[in-house]
């Protein structure tokens, strides 16, 4: 009598529910990784960066480039770039870490900075700032005598690892003139682009001309 041949086992197949579950888990892990290390959304809350950034602009912040790392492994896997003058950074307020601010880098560690008649001087040289907006124009006559921090500041020399941050809307910005220097470890990332802009007072609401505009 011939022996009965064993039947081949059917190939293992995951259930549909398990496949969905694994896909969701992977998506969540990737989203958390991107949110933690790569990009973060940020909404402009005030007019301190006008006219370059407006209230209602929604930004993507590149954390991969400038976010500080806390370990050698993070520095190896997620190298951050050098902070340069003119970069627009999102950072934790030095005195209120729960608050996020966005300002432009004006002074770098080791530099001597002074403001005279609303004009910035770095190491004695006047800084060209085409992005700046003034509510009232600079005036040498008022700048020489005004104690107002909107007119005069310094000179000061920035310590190592400290940055001088200022808003583009120079007469309407709470920045390093008022709360001091920005420590490197407070930096959260560099503003990358506007992915959406919303004006609640406009007829169309969405500012389509600002969508996907690179932040400079």
Task: Enumerate the domain spans of the chain.
Answer: 41-214
Residue 211's CB: how many other CB atoms inside 10 A?
A: 14
- Say if residue 68's pLDDT is above 60: no
- Mean pLDDT for the chain overall: 81
- Res. 10 pLDDT band, cuts 50 70 90: low
* Residue 74 reports pLDDT greater than 70: no
Question: What tokens appear for 186 in the block?
Answer: 């407070």
Going by pLDDT thresholds of 50, 70 and 90, the confidence category of residue 33 is: very low
- Among the options 3, 15, 23, 48, which is catalytic? 48
Mean pLDDT along residues 53-81: 68
The whole-number average pLDDT for the span 116-130 is 95
Q: How far apart are CA 214 and CA 195, in angstroms?
A: 9
- Which of 18-27, 70-79, 137-146 holds the top average pLDDT? 137-146
**Residue 48 annotated among the catalytic residues of the structure:** yes
User: What global pTM score does this model have?
Assistant: 0.75
Residue tagged active-site, from 15, 46, 92, 103: 103
Rounded mean pLDDT of 157-182? Answer: 96
**Is 3.90.550.10 the CATH classification of the domain at 41-214?**
no
Q: Is 139 a catalytic residue?
A: no
């Amino acid at each position: 009598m011939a022996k009965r041949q064993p039947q081949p086992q059917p190939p293992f197949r995951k259930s549909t529910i398990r496949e969905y579950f694994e896909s969701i888990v992977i998506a969540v892990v990737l989203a958390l990784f991107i949110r933690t290390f790569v990009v973060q959304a940020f909404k402009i809350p005030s007019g301190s960066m006008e006219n370059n950034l407006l209230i209602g602009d929604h930004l993507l912040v590149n954390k991969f480039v400038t976010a500080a790392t806390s370990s050698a492994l993070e520095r190896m896997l997620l190298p951050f770039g050098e902070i340069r003058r003119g970069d627009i950074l999102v950072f934790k307020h030095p005195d209120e870490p729960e608050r996020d601010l966005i300002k432009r880098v004006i002074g770098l560690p080791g530099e001597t900075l002074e403001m005279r008649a609303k004009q910035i001087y770095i190491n004695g040289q006047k800084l060209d700032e085409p992005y700046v907006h003034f509510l009232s124009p600079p005036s040498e006559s008022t700048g020489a005598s005004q104690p107002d921090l909107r007119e005069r500041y310094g000179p000061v020399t920035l310590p190592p690892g400290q940055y001088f941050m200022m808003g583009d809307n120079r007469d309407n910005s709470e920045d390093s003139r008022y709360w001091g220097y920005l420590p490197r470890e407070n930096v959260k990332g560099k503003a990358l682009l506007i992915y959406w802009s919303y004006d609640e007072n406009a007829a169309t609401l969405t500012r389509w001309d600002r969508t996907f505009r690179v932040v400079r």
